[in-house]
């Protein structure tokens, strides 16, 4: 029996949603669905919604290299580059409009939520060859639209602008919305059921399975490049991490770094199941996932589970990933044989320990000596501008993080280290909120990893508001 593969099922289900011409007064509007980034696994919902409303739907599951020249930066992650290539493929397939909503960012990845603002500068969009439809929505997942009338109204208003001569009515939209929502829910339930089946298969004697944990779009064949098939070829099952959940990690008292929550839940799920192991997927250069990994590593190693990270990019050679997977399989099987045989005399079994997300103070024992020495020699006048020393102060370094976030986190760490050396640890730190697309909201956790403790953070508007003009002096009454 071939090992179960939930990601292969996900790819097959999504491949079933293809270009669908329509008939009627709205059929001339050919809406291309850009199924990348946050929209990758929301394709069933949007495909049914536009189809039910009488729009022609254009779908691309490929890439067009003509979009390479429109990529504004070589340093952007490959999933973002993929958005350009797939946009051009939609154009070749005859799309007159491209639907790619913007999502309320909060503390999420700006590329994942707001990349439509970059696609607006692509020549075909800028020159009017195709119209980009990018409504701002609060929800990232279609399942939550049911609870957000605001998002429904925004989507309906954007659709009415596409066909002012035949705008969808409220009744038509609600009927299409319910049909689309039902299809999306069915899609999610099928994947959850397949995960359950794969987990039950892995519990049988001699079987194991890997949870491929990443973002929804990491399942795209152009990103994953057959890694799931490599796993099943090794005799292991594959579970899809985006449709699996686990125990809620305990609160460690530090302001949460939101993107890590789901990964920590998956780590908890894997920790509780001896037959499961976790493989984290990260797009090369992704600062958000780069920040997550130390916490996931600590959560797994605390219960004796191996930590494996695979970076995905535009390189098609899987040789290195294949070696890493084989090593993981060997280590996991060795650990399983030890668990079955029982621990040696005098040894303790780490795999039987209950899962608990580690407090970050356990991940950095006290102040690093180099930080202490730097704090003793620090001249207060050095805090007049961001310096390389600020970046170097961050324990372990975060090369995939932007310079501003690293420098501000390092500055906060230097201030805190200096205050502790002086015997009066800072309780609060004011930090300028210099960029809404940055990862500054992870600053408290970075400081915690560096020093073992972190103060509360007060975010200050930047640039600071101009002082109110002094009131004009009252005119003196004529004498």
Per-residue pLDDT tens over the stretch 197-222: 999 999 998 899 999 988 889 999 99
Q: What is the pLDDT of residue 382?
A: 41
Query: Which of 34, 181, 177 is closest to 112 using CA atoms?
Result: 34
* pLDDT for 387: 60
292-307 confidence digits (pLDDT tens): 788 888 888 888 888 8
Nearest to 45 by CA among 37, 35, 56: 35
Taking the C-alpha atoms of residue 43 and residue 49, their distance in angstroms, rounded to an integer, is 10
Strand order in the sheet with 30-33: 56-59, 30-33, 97-99, 131-133
Q: Per residue in 359-383, pLDDT tens?
A: 333 333 444 454 444 444 433 334 4
pLDDT in tens, 265-283: 888 888 888 889 999 988 8
pLDDT of residue 32: 96
**CA gap 139, 102 in Å, rounded:** 10
Q: Which helix (H) or strand (E) holds 210?
A: strand 209-213
Kindly compute the dihedral angle of the four CA atoms of residues 253, 258, 263, 266, in this order, to the nearest 10 degrees. Answer: 70
Distance CA 426, CA 447 (A): 12
Q: CA-CA distance, 327 to 279, in Å (whole number)? A: 12
Residue 132 confidence (pLDDT) above 50 = yes
Cα–Cα distance, 43 to 100 (Å, whole number): 11
- Of residues 315 and 282, the one with the higher pLDDT is 282
* Average pLDDT rounded to a whole number, residues 347-366: 39
Provide the H-helix boundaries in 377-442. Answer: 388-392, 403-421
CA distance 301 to 287: 22
Rg of the Cα atoms in the chain? 26
Q: Is 154 exposed, middle or buried (0-12, 13-18, 19+ CB in 10 A)?
A: middle
Q: Which residue has the higher pLDDT, 244 or 86?
A: 86
**Number of helical (H) and strand (E) elements in the chain, helices listed first:** 17, 12
Is there a contact between 5 and 224 (Cβ–Cβ < 8 Å)?
A: no
């Amino acid at each position: 029996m071939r090992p179960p593969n939930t990601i292969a099922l996900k790819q097959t289900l999504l491949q079933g949603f293809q270009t669908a011409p329509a008939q009627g007064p709205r059929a001339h509007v050919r809406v291309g669905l850009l199924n990348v980034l946050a929209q990758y696994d929301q394709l069933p919902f949007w495909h049914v919604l536009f189809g039910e409303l009488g729009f022609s739907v254009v779908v691309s599951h490929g890439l067009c290299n003509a979009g390479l020249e429109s990529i504004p930066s070589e340093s952007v992650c490959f999933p973002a580059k993929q958005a350009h290539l797939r946009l051009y493929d939609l154009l070749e397939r005859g799309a007159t409009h491209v639907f790619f909503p913007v999502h309320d960012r909060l503390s999420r990845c700006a590329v994942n939520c707001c990349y439509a603002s970059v696609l607006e500068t692509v020549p075909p969009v800028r020159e009017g060859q195709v119209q980009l439809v990018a409504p701002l929505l609060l929800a990232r997942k279609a399942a939550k639209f049911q609870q957000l009338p605001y998002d429904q109204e925004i989507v309906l208003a954007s659709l009415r602008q596409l066909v002012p001569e035949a705008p969808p009515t409220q009744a038509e939209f609600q009927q299409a919305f319910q049909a689309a929502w039902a299809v999306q829910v069915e899609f999610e339930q099928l994947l959850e059921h397949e995960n359950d089946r794969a987990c039950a298969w892995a519990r049988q004697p001699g079987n194991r399975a890997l949870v491929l944990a990443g973002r929804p779009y990491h399942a795209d064949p152009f990103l994953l490049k057959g890694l799931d098939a490599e796993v099943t070829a090794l005799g292991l099952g594959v579970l899809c991490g985006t449709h699996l959940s686990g125990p809620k990690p305990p609160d460690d008292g530090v302001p949460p770094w939101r993107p890590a929550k789901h990964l920590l839940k998956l780590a908890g799920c894997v920790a509780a199941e001896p037959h499961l192991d976790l493989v984290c997927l990260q797009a090369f250069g992704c600062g958000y996932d780069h920040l997550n990994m130390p916490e996931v590593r600590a959560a797994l190693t605390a219960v004796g589970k191996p930590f494996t990270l695979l970076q995905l990019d535009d390189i098609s050679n899987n040789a290195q990933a294949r070696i890493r997977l084989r090593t993981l399989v060997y280590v996991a099987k060795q650990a399983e044989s030890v668990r079955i045989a029982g621990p040696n005399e005098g040894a303790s079994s780490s795999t039987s320990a209950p899962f608990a997300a580690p407090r970050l103070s356990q991940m950095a024992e006290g102040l690093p000596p180099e930080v202490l020495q730097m704090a003793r020699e620090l001249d207060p006048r050095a805090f007049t501008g961001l310096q390389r020393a600020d970046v170097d102060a961050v324990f372990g370094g975060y090369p995939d993080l932007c310079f501003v976030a690293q420098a501000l986190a390092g500055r906060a760490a230097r201030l805190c280290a200096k205050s502790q050396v002086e015997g009066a640890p800072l309780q609060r730190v004011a930090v300028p909120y210099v960029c809404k697309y940055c990862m500054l909201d992870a600053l408290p956790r970075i400081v915690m990893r560096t020093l073992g403790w972190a103060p509360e953070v007060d975010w200050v508007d930047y640039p600071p508001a101009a002082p109110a003009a002094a009131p004009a002096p009252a005119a003196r009454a004529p004498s």
